[in-house]
Amino acid sequence: MATVAPGVPTGPYHAVLDHIHPEPTSFIRKYIFSIDAKVIGMQYFITGAIFFVIAGLLAEIIRTQLLSPHGAILSAATYNSVYSMHGSAMVWFVVIPLLTGAFGNFVMPMQIGARDVAFPWLNLVAFWLFPVAGVILFSSFLVGAPDAGWTEYPPISLQGPLGTNLWCIAVFLIGISSTMTGINFMVTIYKMRAPGMTFTRMPLFVWGQFATTPLLFIATTALGAALAALFIERVFGVPFYDPKRGGSPVLWQHMFWFYSHPAVYIMIIPGFGIISEVLPTFARKPIFGYKMIAFSSVAISLLSFSVWAHHMFTSGMVPWLQLPFMIITMVIAIPTGVKIFSWMATLWGGSINWKTPALYATGFLITFTYGGLTGFFLAAVPADYHEHGTYFVVAHFHYVLYGGSIMSMFAGIYYWWPKMTGRMYNEKLGQLQFWLTFIGFNATFTPMHWLGLLGMPRRVATYDPQFQFWNQFASISSYVMALGTVLFFYILFDSLRNGKKAGPNPWGARTLEWMVSSPPPYYNFKKIPAVLAAPYDFGNPLPYLGLDAAPGATEATPTSASHPVPTY
Amino acid sequence: MDLATIEKVVAFIGALVVFTFALIGLKGEWHKKGLDDNVTKVLLGLMAFGCVLVVLASFGVLPRGGGGA
Amino acid sequence: MAVSVAVHGHGPDDHGGHDDDIIYQETRDMRLMGFVLFLVSDVVLFSSYIFAYIYLRNSIQPTWPPIVDGHQLPRLDTAFAAFNSVVLFGSGVTMHFALESWKHANKPRFNTFMWLTIFLGLGFLGGQGYEYAHAQIGGWSGNIFGASFFTLTGMHGIHVFLGVCFLFALWIQTQRGVYTEHRFFGLTAGTLYWHFVDVIWVVLFFLFYLW
């Protein structure tokens, strides 16, 4: 109606964005079976945190076992189950659901200026598959937990205990959940951005989620196929993987890694997005190389489909295939390096506000780069012959998974905690928690590089006494990490009880989720805003139109609760 | 005529009919621009290709070396 | 045009028919995109097993059909499969014309084509049952030929069966007047699904019978 400044978005009018779900009133519809993406995001957070604690305890059991070269507490068979479950739970039930389901659901719709995701009911189903699958996974302890590692290579997994079947079912279900989330998020980001939010104006966290979605709904299906085949081979004796009956164990490795290599990027690209939000906010500087960071996420996502066989250099694959896989793997370092340097350039000359999220983001830069470099060693075929199956691999993927994914999640949780709860956390304790985690983490996993290069194999319950010192050093350092995790949960509970009110935008960030109250109202925006520019130009006025409610003002419920959307 | 020959003759005639109608459907879709129309174009085209495969099979061109139980 | 974007010309308070149409169109586009992405992920499901079949056949087995207990297994019956394939491809084409009839508001023709599609789909399933009863390749769990054949075609058969149920449910919906001449996303989705199932069969037919 009113004439607005030139440069106003000319995108299509999204009537569907105005649709508001009727606010649920009953407790069950509001908190248990909610279709509100923010509530579902919080449900993912809570469920994922529970699994994180369980899987973390399993990790501490592993480290305690390795205090002694002869194995301190567990039998070899139990130890096999413990590390298999630790890996499976951390990958599928902590990192992937938290980075996609939790952060994606809570933050992404708000950041694109939408009220919800495209398919709220699908979202609800996707979430509820997650705790159900988790219970199935952990109930395998009752019947004999899987013991062939989180990769469950046949033929060992064919002979594994009954729990391996439950493992197949659980991972299959969580895979369906991932697929649903991937489709949902891709449609949401593609179709539901607020007017004027072109692709090059999307926050980088949204870019991260967007680049992750094809991995979720394309790669995960391959895992489902592999798991179903393993299941029917175990239950009905249908030969796929058993070499005695004409099958091939390497077939499993191909199908598994066709999923699981993209999956490691599912576990890191959203984390890249979080870092790209945190760093400019705390450096008070526009992000360096916005387009480069955005497009490199997509490049990583696409390249990740063509590198899976670098996990199989020692599995007896055709030699002439090794070179291309090695080269493509190394090519992935280019877009990743583009990101790392862009982030460093973002920090460069910024007036950095060293709050906990900024500490974590910077810590992430260090540990993730380190993990990326060891990945380079593993990608090189000759070096991999030496390092494959040793603790060097364990050190590498913990540097990228803990030092990358989990550190970015810590950064994200501290960053968005005020938005989720409306309360600040204790900054001093937060920083202490960072240092405990950072030092504990590095002290735990750095020695593993040396152990691996010296030849200590992974997945063994006992080891040669010459490795004892560094194993004990790692175990004791892991207790420091555990202390940090306990402190983390204390900080969150403390913040819920004693935290001071955060206000809508405690960090002075510029993306859309900070433009509404904390915690956000169920409809997110009283009015869908229009977007004029990318959100990172600190110093310029905010690039939004239509945010009539000033931040902090009480927002009224819209007059019309629900718009009748035709269903057919 | 044994059973296999009858099957091949029926398959051949059916394939020609289906191929023709697939092309007619494809022609009707051709100028449409929606996502569903584009996907339909690809799928109808592949179905027509399937009819070509059936024709090849009914003449014994494929599989090489002859098929049949 | 550009101006009314920033400050919405119509908000949640409007209940005009025009707004309703826009919302329908936008929701339909989202559901269509979601459905196509679902089909893409289903393609990957089949591709994984197809990869497994090709891998086992080409890299692991020295001969194909494999030799089990000193006897080479027979090939599958191409003639019957060719006939059965035509039945399925034909149902794809009839489904296409069913949807076209619906778009042109020709209900009797729609009903005819819809039932033709369902019967052809059931006919294909029956043919598959006949095929399963006559395939002399050692059953599902006997060897990798049986394993890959029965797993892939069985999975396809499940898709066909679900597709028939889907189409039947859609037909019931049309009789209950759920879809109109302009709002029939369910029929679009059903048609795409049915075409997808047919096209998967093109690949399977080639891989198992013509290769």
Residue to substitute from C29, C30, C46, C96, interface B, most B β-carbons within 10 A: C96
- In single-letter form, the type of residue at position A348 comes to W
pLDDT digits (tens, 9 = 90+) for A516-547: 998 998 888 888 888 888 899 988 888 888 77
| Domain range for A118 | 15-500
- The better pLDDT of the pair C68, A131 is held by A131
Do the Cβ atoms of A524 and A109 come closer than 8 Å? yes
**A553: in domain:** no
Q: State residue A548's pLDDT score.
A: 60
Nearest to C116 by CA among C97, C100, C138, C94: C94
Do the Cβ atoms of C78 and C210 come closer than 8 Å? yes
pLDDT digits (tens, 9 = 90+) for A230-255: 999 999 999 999 998 889 999 999 99
Q: What pTM, to 2 d.p., does this model score? A: 0.93
Residue to substitute from C36, C48, C179, interface A, most A β-carbons within 10 A: C48
| Domain range for C205 | 31-210
Q: State residue A109's pLDDT score.
A: 94
Nearest CB to C89 within list B39, B51, B62 = B51
Evaluate if residue A343 carries a pLDDT over 50.
Answer: yes
pLDDT digits (tens, 9 = 90+) for A433-464: 999 999 999 999 999 999 999 999 999 999 99
Asked if the C-beta of C27 comes within 8 angstroms of chain A's C-beta atoms, the answer is yes
**What are the helix (H) ranges across A269-355?**
269-283, 290-303, 319-347
pLDDT digits (tens, 9 = 90+) for A256-308: 999 999 999 999 999 999 999 999 999 999 999 999 999 999 999 999 999 99
> What is the C-alpha separation between A305 and A307, in angstroms, rounded?
6
Asked if the C-beta of C62 comes within 8 angstroms of chain A's C-beta atoms, the answer is no
pLDDT class of B69 with cuts at 50, 70, 90: very low
User: How far from A468 is each of A68, A434, A440, CA to CA, in Å?
Assistant: 7, 28, 18
Per the DSSP assignment, residues forming a β-bridge with C71 are C68
Q: Which residues in chain C have their CB less than 8 angstroms from residue B5's CB?
A: 79
Q: How many CB atoms lie within 10 A of CB C114?
A: 24
Nearest CB to A222 within list C37, C38, C48 = C48
Nearest CA in chain C to B54: C82
Q: State residue C18's pLDDT score.
A: 67
**A563: in domain:** no
* Domain CATH number, residue C131: 1.20.120.80
CB within 8 Å of B46: residues ≥ 6 apart? C199, C202
Q: Do the Cβ atoms of C100 and B25 come within 8 Å?
A: yes
Evaluate if residue A556 carries a pLDDT over 80.
Answer: no
- The better pLDDT of the pair B25, A319 is held by B25
Mean pLDDT of chain A: 90
**C101: in domain:** yes
Mean pLDDT of A191-204: 90
Token pair in block for residue A223: 């895992």
Mean pLDDT of chain B: 89
Angle between helices A356-379 and A319-347 (to 10 degrees): 160
Nearest CB to C11 within list A18, A182, A232 = A18
Q: State residue A130's pLDDT score.
A: 97
**A385: in domain:** yes
Per-residue three-class SS string for A88-155: HHHHHHHHHHHHHHHHHHHHHHHHCCCCCCCCHHHHHHHHHHHHHHHHHHHHHHHHCCCCCCCCCCCC
pLDDT class of B66 with cuts at 50, 70, 90: low
Q: Which residues in chain B have their CB less than 8 angstroms from residue C93's CB?
A: 18, 21-22, 25, 44, 47
Q: State residue A13's pLDDT score.
A: 52
Q: State residue C211's pLDDT score.
A: 86
- The better pLDDT of the pair C23, A214 is held by A214
Nearest to C26 by CA among A372, A323, A12: A12
Nearest CA in chain C to B22: C93
**A559: in domain:** no
> What is the C-alpha separation between C40 and C37, in angstroms, rounded?
5
Q: How many CB atoms lie within 10 A of CB C165?
A: 12
Angle between helices A163-191 and A76-88 (to 10 degrees): 10
pLDDT digits (tens, 9 = 90+) for A406-428: 999 999 999 999 999 999 999 99
* Domain CATH number, residue A246: 1.20.210.10
Domain count, chain C: 1
Per the DSSP assignment, residues forming a β-bridge with A545 are A530
Q: State residue C21's pLDDT score.
A: 80
**C2: in domain:** no
Evaluate if residue C169 carries a pLDDT over 80.
Answer: yes
A: neighbours with 3+ CB pairs under 8 Å?
C
CB crowding C61-92: b at 16 or more within 10 Å, else e: beeebbebeeeebebbbbbbbbbbbbbbbbbb
Evaluate if residue A550 carries a pLDDT over 80.
Answer: no
CB crowding A434-445: b at 16 or more within 10 Å, else e: bebbbebbbbbb
Q: State residue A428's pLDDT score.
A: 96
Q: Do the Cβ atoms of C22 and A191 come within 8 Å?
A: no
CB within 8 Å of A89: residues ≥ 6 apart? A51, A54, A55, A58, A134, A137, A138
pLDDT digits (tens, 9 = 90+) for C78-130: 999 999 999 999 999 999 999 999 999 999 999 999 999 999 999 999 999 99
In degrees, to the nearest 5, what angle opens at C-alpha C44 toward C-alphas C40 and C50? Answer: 140
Q: State residue A567's pLDDT score.
A: 46
**C11: in domain:** no
Domain count, chain A: 1
> What is the C-alpha separation between A379 and A388, in angstroms, rounded?
10
Q: What are phi and psi of A288, to 5 degrees?
A: -85, 130
Q: Which residues in chain C have their CB less than 8 angstroms from residue B68's CB?
A: 75, 77-79
DSSP 8-state assignment for residue A545: E
CB crowding A135-165: b at 16 or more within 10 Å, else e: ebbbebeeebbbbbbbbbbbbbbbebbebbb
Evaluate if residue A176 carries a pLDDT over 80.
Answer: yes
pLDDT class of A24 with cuts at 50, 70, 90: confident
Length of chain C: 211
pLDDT class of A133 with cuts at 50, 70, 90: very high
**A33: in domain:** yes
Out of A59-63, A345-349, A548-552, which region has the weakest mean confidence (pLDDT)?
A: A548-552
Evaluate if residue C4 carries a pLDDT over 90.
Answer: no
Asked if the C-beta of B62 comes within 8 angstroms of chain C's C-beta atoms, the answer is yes
> What is the C-alpha separation between A527 and A504, in angstroms, rounded?
16
Evaluate if residue C8 carries a pLDDT over 50.
Answer: no
pLDDT class of C9 with cuts at 50, 70, 90: very low
Q: Do the Cβ atoms of C12 and A19 come within 8 Å?
A: yes
Do the Cβ atoms of C187 and C170 come closer than 8 Å? yes
Per-position DSSP letters for C63-112, written without gaps between them: SSSPEETTEEPPPP-HHHHHHHHHHHHHHHHHHHHHHHHHHTT-HHHHHH
Q: Which residues in chain C have their CB less than 8 angstroms from residue B3's CB?
A: 79
